[in-house]
Amino acid sequence: MTADGQPSAAPDAVDVVALGESMVTFLPDRPGRLADVPAFRRGIGGAESNVVCTLAAAGHSARWVGRVGADGFGQHLVERIASYGVDTGAVRVDPARPTGVYFRTAADRATDAHEVAYYRAGSAASAMSVDNTDPAALDAGRVLHLTGITAALSPGCLELLHELMAPREGRPVVSFDVNHRPGLWREADDALVLLDLARRADVVFVGTDEAEDAWGTRGGVEAVRRLLPEPRVLVVKEGPLGATAFERTDSGEHTVRVPALTVDVVATVGAGDAFAAGFLSATLRGLSVRDRLRHGHLMAAAALTVPGDLAGPPARDHADRLAALDDEAWGRLRLGPGWTGADQVTEETSTA
């Protein structure tokens, strides 16, 4: 971890680099309103750091680039993310701004009972800019993973994304998760900003629900592709129904759809980030589009079956065995808490 202006050694090349804000999250010790919950346990959360923590736990080299306050929360974030095997050497410490934190209830985000209280305005991460972020650390990955959340934090953060996503020699493969969060945006042009950024990326992740909310798309996954023809790979997620990948190659456009798994859900937080990590992991390994989608679903299932943002991924051979199932066997899978341990697989969990 370096302070602003302090020189650092040339960064090592890694599989994936992610840039974004990570925050300390406080999870309730029981269900109920935030006003009624007496105690919370501390965790970490952040879309981009979630992705690289999951990738590192799955055996890939990964780096998180961010900005934290000179406080205990910032120190905890960096130490916790590093504990997954993520390189945090390019993280900057801001002596004048705090690390962001948030509190949430135990209720699922899809219910009216769900509450989240963010304390991130003016955070250290919102001060990220072209001038104070190490470009060499960001360009040293095979893949650079970004999200629309960073674009919403401040004009400086948006300018940084424009710089990173501009066409240039030596640019890594840019992965972009739209992550439309209307509550973060100060201006009404969020939809156009996110659309412009998505069109600059090589790999894009977006849900049909957020595409409809942001851009008014109608007509399902094909309508999203018509709006976003530029990305070489577009992954359109349909929640519990599945996900479709559109890939443009020298031989033309290929479309693959993989239905979602049946999962005994504990909490939905972090599932989208886990899906992106699974898809990127399989991409780095050169797997087929179908298997990239299946590994995305498997990583998402790991996150869905734990209460926090991050879940330990299944062992690679375990995930590969499940991803290789025929369509009928894949459709019979039912995954519940504890399924990621190979010794936990049962007939209900796997038909392999």
Q: Which residues does the annotation mark as catalytic? A: 273
- CA dist., res. 191 & res. 43, Å (int): 31
- CA dist., res. 249 & res. 349, Å (int): 35
- CA dist., res. 157 & res. 159, Å (int): 5
Answer left, alpha or beta for residue 122, where phi above 0 means left and psi between -120 and 50 means alpha.
left
CA distances from 282 to 68, 133, 192, 308, 342 (A): 31, 29, 30, 24, 19
For residue 250, the SS3 value is coil
Alpha helix locations (H) across the chain?
A: 47-57, 72-83, 135-139, 148-153, 155-165, 190-200, 208-215, 220-227, 271-284, 289-304, 316-323, 327-332
